[in-house]
Amino acid sequence: MRALTVFGVTGRMGQAVLRAVRESDDFVVAGAVASAASARLGGDAVLDGPPCGTPVSADVAASLAGASVAVDFSAAAAVPDHAAACAAALVPLVVGTTGLEPRALEALREAATRIAVLVAPNTSVGVNLLERLAALAARGLGPTFDVEIIEAHHRSKRDAPSGTAIRLGEAIAAARGGRLAEHAQYGRHGEPGPRPPGAIGFAVVRGGDIVGEHTVLFAGDGERIELTHRATDRMVFARGALRAAAWIVGRAPGLYRMQDVLDV
């Protein structure tokens, strides 16, 4: 049985992870962390459903005591402190938080010198398979096919394009022997002119309660291929996060991705 600490436990994904734990025979909740300003401090970690018996706490170090792994779906600004605390406690970490700034990425790299750290902007197994398929298509179709990545999320999502869309772009650019920074086009308006050769375009939709949709469009002369993943329930991310958490326990220090989990 693995003991799990959840960062960002009062958020939608934090609660989904707790539901996934309830479904699982492999995990128990060791700690439940929210910000010091949370009105839920001291209450049971489960906000809607049978209580799990673990109180919400802002004490990161105490919440990691006895944990065998941690999952972070908190605010991006909190990730550096969580990474440092996990490194100090020698607890491996799965990070599903998106919109990470350079400071957070550097903190995760530093933590990875002491513990195993898996960074996944999307923990869905299906969407990570989409990444593989997109790279395969990019290699097979070649540079004559134009690439557009279209993503849609709920109205409250903070970052755009999504971390998943960026990762898809990176995988496609790498499959073509380049870097995304050299080819990305983020939005168009006015008179942008003809599409540059090799461009990887991004389109963003925000509205309603859309959980997450990603389409990679390969458009050639006379034919078109579309690869699409649609998430209709956040539980797919929670179950994927638990799969990653189970996988990372016992791994050597270093940075890992969901693609490593799929390789098992």
Element (H, E) at 139: helix 125-141
- Residue 45 carries which side chain, given as an amino acid letter? A
User: Token pair of 119, please?
Assistant: 């960074």
- Strand partners of residue 3: 28
DSSP line for 191-235:
---SPPTT-EEEEEEE-TT--EEEEEEEE-SS-EEEEEEEE--TH
Task: Report d(CA 243, CA 31) in Å as an integer.
Answer: 18
**Do 25 and 34 contact (CB within 8 A), yes or no?**
no
**Do 72 and 97 contact (CB within 8 A), yes or no?**
yes
Torsion of CA 185, 202, 142, 138, to 10 degrees: 140
Task: Report d(CA 113, CA 120) in Å as an integer.
Answer: 18
**Do 60 and 240 contact (CB within 8 A), yes or no?**
no
Residues belonging to the active site: 153, 157
- Residue 57 carries which side chain, given as an amino acid letter? S
